[in-house]
Amino acid sequence: MKRTMAMKHLRLPLIAAAAVALASCSDSLTSADATNSEAVTLGQTLYGANCASCHGKDLRGQPNWREPQEDGTLPAPPHDESGHTWHHDDQLLFNYTKQGGAGVAPPGFKSAMPGFGECLSDEEIWSVLSYIKSRWSLKAQARQGGLNK
Ligand code: HEC
């Protein structure tokens, strides 16, 4: 009898710890965090499935990405440091990914970047951006981080 009581008491803190772990995994991801390895790992998978076809498996973008194509759209830019993704703050990158070029770019700009708001949750978008950020040098991460303040 005494033993069961002790076991019961032990179980509570364990359950509380598990709840905290779950909450911190989903609720706290409201920015791109290259130091959050869980987000980076998930983001890598999501990047491969949703972004790599245009932005490249290696994040290098499409060839001649600065030159408009015949249909007036631009090719997909790199997301590594050779592009300009790291020149933009987190919120802009988030909005661009969620709403696509049509939702964010100025009127008249013809965009080939689709919006992912229908198929990726906000946390998934932050995970993809966490992964992209994790591929920049610490120097670029710090400079881009300065834009977020
Ligand atoms: C069908 C091709 C295509 C796919 C798929 C795609 N993109 Fe893009 N993306 C583009 C193009 C093209 C641009 C260039 C800007 C424009 O034309 O709107 C762009 C621009 C961007 C930008 C703008 C900021 C910048 O300077 O780099 C971000 C951020 C971005 N894409 C993120 C993503 C993410 C994250 C995914 C996957 C979830 C993704 N894209 C999937 C084509 C694509």
Residues with a CB atom less than 6 Å from ligand 1: 50-51, 53-55, 73-77, 83-85, 88, 93, 96-97, 101, 105, 111-114, 116, 128
Q: Tell me, what's the pLDDT at 6?
A: 52
- Per the listing, tokens 């990158």 go with 93
Output the tens digit of pLDDT for each of the chain's 149 residues.
555 555 555 565 555 555 544 444 445 788 999 999 999 999 999 999 999 999 999 999 999 999 999 999 999 999 999 999 999 999 999 999 999 999 998 989 999 999 999 999 999 999 999 999 999 999 999 999 999 98
Cβ–Cβ < 8 Å for 110, 72: yes
Task: Burial-class residue 26 by CB neighbours within 10 Å (0-12, 13-18, 19+).
Answer: exposed
Instruction: From residue 31, give the alpha-carbon distance in Å to each of 4, 8, 59, 95, 109.
Output: 44, 38, 20, 12, 27
Measured between alpha carbons, how far is 89 from 29 in angstroms, rounded to an integer?
16
In ligand 1, which atom is closest to the CA atom of 129? Answer: 35
